[in-house]
Amino acid sequence: MATLQAASFCSSSSSSSSRKIKATLNASKIQSSDHLSFPRVIFDELNRRNGLQTFQPTSTHTEMNPNIGSANIRNGEAISSSKAMQELYTIMGIVADRTEMHKNIGAQRDNWNRLLLNSVNGMTLTGATMAGLASVSGAGAPILALKLSASVLFLAATGILLVMNKIQPSQLAEEQRNASRLFKQLHEEIKITLALQNFTANDVKDVTEKVLALDKAYPLPLLGAMLDKFPANVEPAVWWPHHLKSQPESGRRVERNGWNENLEKEMRGVLGVLKRKDGAEYVKLSKVVLKVNKVLAVCGPLFTGLAAVGSLCVGLPFCGSWAAVFGAMATVVNSMEHGGQVGMVFEMYRDSAGFFSLMEESIASNLMEREADKRENGELFELKTALLLGRSLSELRDLANCRSTTSSNLSSTSRDEEEFASKLF
């Protein structure tokens, strides 16, 4: 009997040991398998159930099996890349929706401009006609009706003009057109990033910041968040996140990633030209157009208001023709302001100045980056800069030579970079 119990005990111990050895072998297979097939969480859970510690590759283990360390790295990169891809697809859908939304709102506000202008001019011309008829007719009830009707039309036109001049529908439409174009451009950038399959969490962060910057630059709501149509200081439009960092100049030469001393000198020359010529000219034009728009915005409601008062004074000495004259003048002013879309022209110049500011910041940020590998590729950056400015490479170099012929010009462009950094920080 004791012999049977001992045999049973040995058999049981042997079976238990066999199961443990088998479990250990299975765990070893899991540890040495390709981590791309099993997420790290599954490895940890299976190891815990088997009573084993989670394997952490060391230099010794890596020397015995170098595939283990690289598999762990590939697994982490795969999970991170998959998450970034999902986030980029989500953002791309949001950007596509924003594009369509801004496009529809732009068309709506362009219709506002046409319909409101036609309505105001119709009311103003009708009121002027009524006031003219009242001034050449005799006294009586019909004259009083004409005078009151003209006054009501002029007052209504004045109220509508005050609203129109405040919101500037043509400028609102131009803002939405620009926003639609920029969101569409961002959508294409995301598609290219996904197609290249070379994206990280930094790409997701960068795209998110661009979306938020565009939302801030071109808000959708009309009330509360609308851009100031008559700003005290005219500044270029800004629709991109600032990434320019203030860094000290490096004494060593950059001779890699497509950059060299001649290219840096060329880009410094282009930076000086953009800042002192192109960008400054568009800001100057924006200021001129803004002044014209302010004058027209004041004169329109003023003339219709005087016409409303003049229509009530029809029949009095020296007041008979006031309403007709001021009504005609108001029609001309309104047609110039809203028919000529002066607000849209102001926004167009402001956005053009913003484009050159973006170019300046892009060039300055690359020049101030001390490590060449962190810059954009020099040759591609030169080509992109030339095409964005509407020039060939040879024309771009000729443009740069206008500012880089003397050392004093080079020092001035270095001060330009410092000015950019001081504005942003």
Angle value at C-alpha 201, between 198 and 202, nearest 5 degrees? 85
What residues have CB less than 8 Å from 61, skipping those under 6 apart? Answer: 55, 68, 69
Digit-coded pLDDT (tens) for 371-396: 877 888 889 999 999 999 888 988 88
Q: Which of 268, 275, 276, 280 is nearest to 404 (CA)?
A: 268
Digit-coded pLDDT (tens) for 260-269: 888 888 999 8
- Give the C-alpha distances (Å, rounded to integers) separating 38 from 44, 51, 72: 10, 19, 11
Give the single-character DSSP code of 228.
P
Predicted confidence (pLDDT) at residue 206 exceeds the cutoff of 60: yes
- What does the pLDDT read at residue 196? 85
Predicted confidence (pLDDT) at residue 57 exceeds the cutoff of 60: no
Q: Which of 169, 159, 153 is nearest to 327 (CA)?
A: 153
Residues above pLDDT 70, as percent of the chain: 70
7 in a structural domain: no
Digit-coded pLDDT (tens) for 127-159: 999 888 888 776 666 788 888 999 999 999 999
What residues have CB less than 8 Å from 419, skipping those under 6 apart? Answer: none
- 34 pLDDT band, cuts 50/70/90, is very low
Range of the domain at 338: 78-232+258-405
268 in a structural domain: yes
C-alpha atoms less than 13 angstroms from C-alpha of 375 in its C-beta half-sphere: 26
Structure tokens belonging to residue 128: 């002027």
24 in a structural domain: no
241 in a structural domain: no
Residue bearing the bigger pLDDT, 56 or 114: 114
Q: For residues 299 and 305, what is the distance between their CA atoms, to the nearest angstrom?
A: 10
What's the chain's average pLDDT?
A: 78
- 219-223, 361-365, 379-383, 400-404: least confidently modelled range: 400-404
- 6 pLDDT band, cuts 50/70/90, is very low
Q: Which of 206, 210, 214 is nearest to 180 (CA)?
A: 214
Q: For residues 252 and 160, what is the distance between their CA atoms, to the nearest angstrom?
A: 64
Q: Which of helix, strand or coil describes residue 369? A: coil
93 in a structural domain: yes
- 18 pLDDT band, cuts 50/70/90, is very low
Sign of CA dihedral 347, 352, 356, 362: positive
39 in a structural domain: no
Predicted confidence (pLDDT) at residue 11 exceeds the cutoff of 50: no
Quick check: 186 and 214 in contact, CB under 8 A? yes
The whole-model pTM stands at 0.73
Other CB atoms within 10 A of residue 337 CB: 24
Q: For residues 87 and 211, what is the distance between their CA atoms, to the nearest angstrom?
A: 13
Quick check: 293 and 337 in contact, CB under 8 A? yes
- 8-22, 200-214, 338-352: least confidently modelled range: 8-22
46 in a structural domain: no
Quick check: 275 and 416 in contact, CB under 8 A? yes
- 7-21, 184-198, 284-298, 397-411: least confidently modelled range: 7-21
200 phi, psi to nearest 5 deg: -135, -175
Q: For residues 55 and 43, what is the distance between their CA atoms, to the nearest angstrom?
A: 9
227 phi, psi to nearest 5 deg: -65, 145
Other CB atoms within 10 A of residue 237 CB: 21
Residue bearing the bigger pLDDT, 192 or 316: 192
418 in a structural domain: no
Structural domain count, the chain: 1
